[in-house]
């Protein structure tokens, strides 16, 4: 699997015949590459929740690439109202087969909505995470946590789906901070690879992953990868 991090919580996963975008907020102030090139050939867009810094440029990308948008039922209805027809609505605990991978929607502890010009937020379903499980035996199972606080049922997610790669929010204030994110990784999961995210983009959240990597340093068997923004890397089979 080839993984590209675009900053914040925006990822691209390339494997088999699929090119999966997760929370494609590329206009985030830290990604300086060509957004059209970065999203070219996308087959699916997975949205964890409805906040602007996760929905990002989904509508434009979906219209241009024809990618199928996968989201909570309520958020999917809003996306559909923007002119997107290729939709896969889901909800907590459900799974759907999408070509050569299965997506399962997990719970997350956060909120989800769209802020209107009058300052009122409209409900866009619940926040979620995604388990992304490719068909290929040599491909890793990815857990994109979305925005979430720590919760003890993370250990059930590990037992049920056995993810080996985790996209873990660490920026604090709106999600887990370094200490709780490291605790979750150390006590609830058996990740081979952890990619921290949701930091370094806004003044209110942590500017770097340094504290998280320090706290994870003594965890044997788990690699913490802090990617260069926009630069793809390969997972080990």
Q: Which one, of 214, 145, 135, lies nearest residue 174 by Cα? A: 145
Decide: 86 and 67 in contact? Cβ < 8 Å.
yes
Domain assignment of residue 234, yes or no: no
Q: Angle 181-1-154 (CA atoms, 0-180°, nearest 5)?
A: 25
Domain assignment of residue 148, yes or no: yes
Domain assignment of residue 60, yes or no: yes
* Per-residue pLDDT tens over the stretch 71-116: 999 999 999 999 999 999 999 999 999 999 999 999 999 999 999 9
Domain assignment of residue 185, yes or no: yes
* Per-residue pLDDT tens over the stretch 159-199: 999 999 999 999 999 999 999 999 999 999 999 999 999 99
The CATH number linked to 102 is 3.60.15.10
Does the predicted model carry a pTM greater than 0.85?
yes
Query: How many domains are there within the chain?
Result: 1
Domain assignment of residue 233, yes or no: no
Helix (H) / strand (E) element for 154: namely: helix 154-161
Q: Which one, of 36, 44, 35, lies nearest residue 17 by Cα? A: 44
* Per-residue pLDDT tens over the stretch 5-60: 999 999 999 999 999 999 999 999 999 999 999 999 999 999 999 999 999 999 99
* Residue ranges making up the domain that contains 109: 2-227
69 burial (CB, 10 Å; 0-12 / 13-18 / 19+) is buried
Q: What pLDDT score was predicted for residue 1? A: 98
Domain assignment of residue 160, yes or no: yes
Per 3-state DSSP, what percentage of the chain is helix, strand, and coil (rounded to 5)?
20, 30, 50
């Amino acid at each position: 699997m080839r993984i590209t991090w675009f900053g914040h919580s925006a990822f691209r996963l390339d494997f088999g015949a699929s090119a999966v975008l997760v929370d494609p907020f590329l206009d985030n102030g830290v990604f300086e590459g060509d957004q059209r090139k970065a999203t070219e050939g996308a087959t699916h867009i997975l949205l964890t929740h409805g906040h602007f810094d996760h929905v990002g440029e989904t509508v434009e990308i979906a219209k241009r690439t024809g990618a199928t948008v996968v989201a909570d039922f309520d958020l999917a209805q809003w996306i559909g109202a923007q002119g997107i027809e290729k939709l896969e609505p889901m909800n907590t605990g459900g799974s759907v087969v999408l070509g050569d991978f299965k997506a399962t929607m997990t719970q997350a502890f956060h909120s989800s909505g769209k802020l209107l010009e009058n300052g009122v937020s409209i409900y866009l379903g619940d926040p979620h995470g995604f388990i992304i499980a490719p068909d290929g035996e040599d491909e890793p199972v990815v857990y994109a946590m979305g925005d979430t606080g720590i919760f003890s049922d993370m250990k059930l997610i590990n037992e049920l789906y056995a993810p080996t790669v985790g996209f873990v929010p660490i920026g604090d204030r709106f999600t887990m901070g370094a200490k709780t994110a490291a605790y979750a990784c150390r006590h609830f999961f058996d990740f081979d690879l952890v990619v921290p995210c949701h930091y370094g983009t806004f003044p209110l959240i942590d500017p770097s992953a340094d504290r998280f990597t320090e706290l994870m340093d003594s965890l044997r068997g788990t690699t913490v990868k802090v990617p260069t923004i926009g630069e793809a890397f390969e997972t080990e089979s």
